[in-house]
Amino acid sequence: MRRRCTWNIFQSIEYAGEQDQIKLYKFFSYLMDHFTPASSERNLISHIFHENETCHDVEWEQYFLYKSIDIPEGYSGPHLTFPLTFCGVSRLVEAFKHKQLLHARYVLQLLGETWKLLRFLPNIAYVSTVHAREITICGDLHGHLEDLLLIFYKNGLPSSERPYVFNGDFVDRGKNSLEILLILFGFLLVYPNDVHLNRGNHEDHMVNLRYGFNKEVLGKYRVHGQRILRLVQKIFSWLPLATVINHKVLVVHGGISDTTDLDTIYKVDRHKYVSVLKPPNKKPNGAKDGGRRRVRSLTYSGPKMGQRQDIPRRSLDNLPTNACNNRSVAAEVKRSQRERYRTYGYPDPEVTETEDKQLKQIVDILWSDPMSQNGCTPNEVRGGGCYWGPDVTEEVLARHKLHLLIRSHECKQEGYEFCHNHKVLTIFSASNYYDIGSNRGAYIRMGPDLVPHFNQYQASRTCRELTLRQSVGQTEKSALKALREQLFAHRSSLISAFQEFDINNTGLISLSQWAGATERVLKLGLPWRVLRPQLITSTWDTMVDYQKWIREFSITETRLDISDTSILEMMYKHHSNLETIFRIIDTDHSGLISYEEFRQTWKLLSSHLQLEISNKAISDLAQSIDFNKDGSIDINEFMEAFRLVDLSAHAQ
């Protein structure tokens, strides 16, 4: 029971964060479609959508130029020669094992060669196992280099005799995402017929803004980091979408839906979807090919020159309530595109039924999760993809004459898990994903009989030395700490919800009222009654002293002088969204933003959340955060300025 509750806490908080991420991206898409092109708000975020514009190969090749980058004599890291060989990539693995950094020249060269190869690979790789040869299938790695190294140690390096399928989510969360990419790309170049890389939902530039990959690359390569990121984003869009083994086993990152069709997936122009959270921009009818958008003046009035139309536009100050949240992403994008093109006299670039289907196919295989009930419903927990049931598995596998679906996308305590009558198998290869001891990693070995054999492991020596009781206790402690931070961030909402049951202001409510109100505010789907002993130090019979309980959550002393406590709570509640917006606005990747950019960040966030924050409150906050008074704000210092302390834990 303890392990199950701990697991539910970690997973619920993770999925809530993904849902917030998608909601924020929907909001950005709405701003792009409704704000005037010259508006300062739109300019702040417009560059992140340029990734989906058409850019021809000849223009991309300029990003791969590496010959002008000199390697200093004092460089002690690994050297690469091209074309790469098995020995060359093996030395790269060994160098990363010893925490060496590959020079930016070699990084760009390796990425360039990878891009050239990926453009010739199909959307679906059809591979086969032969007598005496097994194929190895790995799930999410999420920047955990120690897990990849352990897999290679136990199973052997990729080769023509030892083929591998890596099933997406190579990056984000962990500290060595780039090293994992470079190793996998290196082996792909040496063994293009024996190493297969499927795209995951984290191979997406917008997701990378929130979950750490962008920050990692820019921290390791301060001079050339922006170019490296730009190229990796392009490469992500060219990653294949699925692998089929012996025409019987389908391997995709997320899953399927009731509309999944491999023939459609095979024909999709996958490279158009640099971010699958937003459809690619469409050129107006009649626009010439050449890799550039046709730019029109704001005064352009359509086919009849000289007639200017008055176009209603919106700003952050009069954004309508729930304007973007009440529509689906696809419906809102389609409607706003038509409105904008009609306004400026463009022919209506209607999103065709085929294009809608293609986008849905990709989103479903990258974001979906299985469920125990029959049917297929939107995945509202993650915010993308769907939940599909055993009946959908049966139908899709039968229609394509398949026997088994292997997917990843979900962390499992044992590293793998069967469902849907053993016809769906989840494999997850990042051990200690949530915390040390939280889960094992695993990989699959499969021979010609297509029977999966599992290999489990723990990459952390510390965890291997713990007893089961110690491991469960440590993981439970981390999960409860994360949950208390969520409770603190929603403190005001919780108090209001509790007070609805406390008409006489006694400070006491029943246990069932406490559990119901807490779930209604946090929406995490947790068994609050079961968690009560770990969250509440004392109760009076069946009553909860919620006022005392709320007081037990506090923060450490901070150098910030903030009079508006609502901003403080908002910062805790939405710190991930804040950091995402900060990093979008920090276009030069210096880690610093100006007071005005800081103000615009808060205006964007408050509009997204439909909250009112005065300019004075934002200005006061900016001045208190600018510790050295140089007129700019250090993003990392700002994000590290707050630490939660559980006073009840200190009192025990």
Q: Is the bond preceding residue 370 a cis peptide, omega within 30 degrees?
A: no
Instruction: Say whether 315 sits in a helix, a strand or coil.
Output: coil
Partners of 124 in the beta sheet?
A: 242
What Å distances lie between residue 341 and 33, 297, 299, 309, CA to CA? 10, 13, 14, 13
The H-or-E segment that residue 580 falls in is helix 575-585
Beta strands per DSSP E along 314-379: 369-370, 376-378
Q: Could you tell me how far CA 599 lies from the centroid of its own chain?
A: 26
Instruction: Give which of 362, 379, 357, 361 is closest to 370, Cα–Cα.
Output: 379
Contact between residue 248 and residue 450 where contact means Cβ atoms under 8 Å apart = yes
Strand 543-545 relative to strand 508-510, pairing: antiparallel
Spatial distance between the Cα atoms of 643 and 641, rounded to a whole number of angstroms? 7
The single-letter code of the amino acid at 597 is: E
Could you confirm whether 202 is annotated as catalytic? yes
Retrieve residue 315's tokens: 């700003």
Beta bridge partners of 113: none
Which residue of the set 103, 142, 196, 202 is catalytic?
A: 202
Amino acid at 517: A
Q: What are phi and psi of 641, to 5 degrees?
A: -75, -10
Choose among 333, 316, 315, 410: nearest CA to 369: 410
Is residue 253 within 8 A of residue 242, CB to CB? The reply is: no
Nearby residues of 626 by Cβ (< 8 Å), 6 or more positions away: 595, 632, 633
H helices of 245-303, in order, are 262-267
The residues that are catalytic are 202
